[in-house]
Structure 1
Amino acid sequence: MVSGERTPTDGGGDRGGLRAALSGLTTRGRSFLAAGVAAAVCAYVLGQADLLRVGLLLAALPLVCTVVLVRTHYRVAGTRWLSPSRVPAGTEARVHLRVENVSRLSTGLLMLQDKVPYVLGPRPRFVLDRVEAGGRREVSYRVRSDLRGHYPMGPLQLRLSDPFGMCELIRAFSTHDTLVVVPRTEPLPAVRLSGEAPGYGEGRQRSTALAGDDDVIPRIYRHGDDLRRVHWRSTARHGELMVRREEQPQRPRCTVLLDTRRTAYRGAGPDSAFEWAVSGAASALAHMLERGFAVRLLTDDGNAVPGEAAGGFAGSTQESADSSGLMMDTLAVIDHSDGGGLSRAYDVLRGDDGLLIAFFGDLDEEQAALAARMRRRGRGAVAFLPDGTAWEPPDDVPPAGAREAFERRLRLLRESGWTAVAVEPGTGLAQYWRQAGQGAAVDGPTAVGGTTGASGGWS
Structure 2
Amino acid sequence: MSAGAPRGAGGGSQGGAGLRASLSGLTTRGRSFLAAGVAAALCAYVLGQGELLRVGLLLAALPLICVLALHRTRHRVAGSRRLTPMRVAAGAEARVQLRMDNTSRMPTGLLMLQDRVPYVLGPRPRFVLDRVEPGGRREVSYRVRSDLRGRYPLGPLQLRLTDPFGLVELTRSFSTYDTLTVVPRTEALPAVRLTGETAGYGDGSRRSLALAGDDDVIPRTYRRGDDLRRVHWRSTARYGELMVRREEQPQRSKATVLLDTRGTAFEGAGPDSAFEWAVSGAASVVLHLLEQGFSVRLLTDTGNAVPGAGGKGFSSGGQESAEAAGLMMDALAVVGHSEGAGLSRAYDAVRSGGGGDGGFGPGGGDGLLIAFLGELDDAQADMAARMRRLSGAAVAFLLDPALWAGRPSRAEERLHRLRDAGWTALAAPPGVAFGELWRQAGNAPLGTGPSGGRG
The two structures have a TM-score, normalised by structure 1, of 0.83
Shift of 1:106: 2.7
Structure 2 residue 8 is matched with structure 1 residue 3: no
Residue pairs, 1:246-325, within 5 angstroms: 248-307=249-308, 309-325=310-326
Give CA-to-partner distance per residue, 1:236-274, whole Å, 9 cap, x none: xxxxxxxxx986421122111001111111122221111
Shift of 1:54: 1.5
Residue pairs, 1:87-236, within 5 angstroms: 87-194=88-195, 196=196, 205-209=202-206, 211-216=207-212, 228-229=225-226
Say which SS state the counterpart of residue 43 (structure 1) adopts.
helix
Q: Distance in 2 between matches of 1:134 and 1:290?
A: 49
Partner of residue 433 from structure 2, selected from 428, 432, 439: 428
Q: Distance in 2 between matches of 1:122 and 1:445?
A: 45
- Does the CA contact (< 8 Å) of 1:420 and 1:448 recur in 2? no
Q: Distance in 2 between matches of 1:191 and 1:264?
A: 29
- Does the CA contact (< 8 Å) of 2:257 and 2:298 recur in 1? yes
Shift of 1:306: 2.5
Q: Distance in 2 between matches of 1:387 and 1:378?
A: 24
Q: Distance in 2 between matches of 1:284 and 1:342?
A: 20
Q: Give the equivalent residue in structure 1 for 2:417.
A: 412
Give CA-to-partner distance per residue, 1:269-314, whole Å, 9 cap, x none: 2211111111110111111111121111011111111248422111
CA RMSD of aligned residues (A): 2.8
Q: Per the alignment, do residues 290 and 228 of structure 1 end up closer, same or farther by CA in structure 2, a change over 3 Å counting? A: same
Q: Distance in 2 between matches of 1:72 and 1:277?
A: 54
Letter in 1 for 2:24: S
Say which SS state the counterpart of residue 187 (structure 1) adopts.
coil
Q: Distance in 2 between matches of 1:448 and 1:320?
A: 37
Q: Distance in 1 between matches of 2:247 and 2:107?
A: 61
Say which SS state the counterpart of residue 306 (structure 1) adopts.
coil
Say which SS state the counterpart of residue 132 (structure 2) adopts.
coil
Return 324-333 or 248-257, whichever deviates more.
Answer: 248-257
- Does the CA contact (< 8 Å) of 1:414 and 1:448 recur in 2? no
Long gaps (5+) in structure 2: 214-222, 228-245
Q: Give the equivalent residue in structure 1 for 2:219.
A: none
Say which SS state the counterpart of residue 61 (structure 1) adopts.
helix
Shift of 1:99: 1.6
Letter in 2 for 1:383: A
Say which SS state the counterpart of residue 55 (structure 2) adopts.
helix
Q: Give the equivalent residue in structure 2 for 1:236.
A: none
Letter in 1 for 2:347: Y
Shift of 1:129: 1.5
Shift of 1:42: 3.2
Long gaps (5+) in structure 1: 218-225, 231-244, 451-459
Q: Distance in 2 between matches of 1:378 and 1:43?
A: 95
Structure 2 residue 383 is matched with structure 1 residue 370: yes
Q: Distance in 1 between matches of 2:194 and 2:403?
A: 25
- Does the CA contact (< 8 Å) of 1:193 and 1:433 recur in 2? no
Give CA-to-partner distance per residue, 1:205-229, whole Å, 9 cap, x none: 32344x2342448xxxxxxxx9834
Q: Distance in 2 between matches of 1:202 and 1:100?
A: 55
Q: Higher relative CO (CA 8 A, sep ≥ 6), structure 1 or 2?
A: 1
Q: Give the equivalent residue in structure 1 for 2:347.
A: 346
Letter in 1 for 2:202: Q
Q: Distance in 1 between matches of 2:411 and 2:14?
A: 74
Q: Per the alignment, do residues 215 and 108 of structure 1 end up closer, same or farther by CA in structure 2, a change over 3 Å counting? A: farther
Q: Per the alignment, do residues 71 and 308 of structure 1 end up closer, same or farther by CA in structure 2, a change over 3 Å counting? A: closer
The two structures have a TM-score, normalised by structure 2, of 0.84
Give CA-to-partner distance per residue, 1:43-74, whole Å, 9 cap, x none: 33443322222122111111111112213375
| Percent identical | 64
Return 173-182 or 343-352, whichever deviates more.
Answer: 343-352
Say which SS state the counterpart of residue 93 (structure 1) adopts.
strand
Return 65-74 or 110-119, whichever deviates more.
Answer: 65-74
Shift of 1:417: 1.2
Say which SS state the counterpart of residue 62 (structure 1) adopts.
helix
Shift of 1:77: 2.2
- Does the CA contact (< 8 Å) of 2:44 and 2:50 recur in 1? yes
- Does the CA contact (< 8 Å) of 2:102 and 2:133 recur in 1? yes
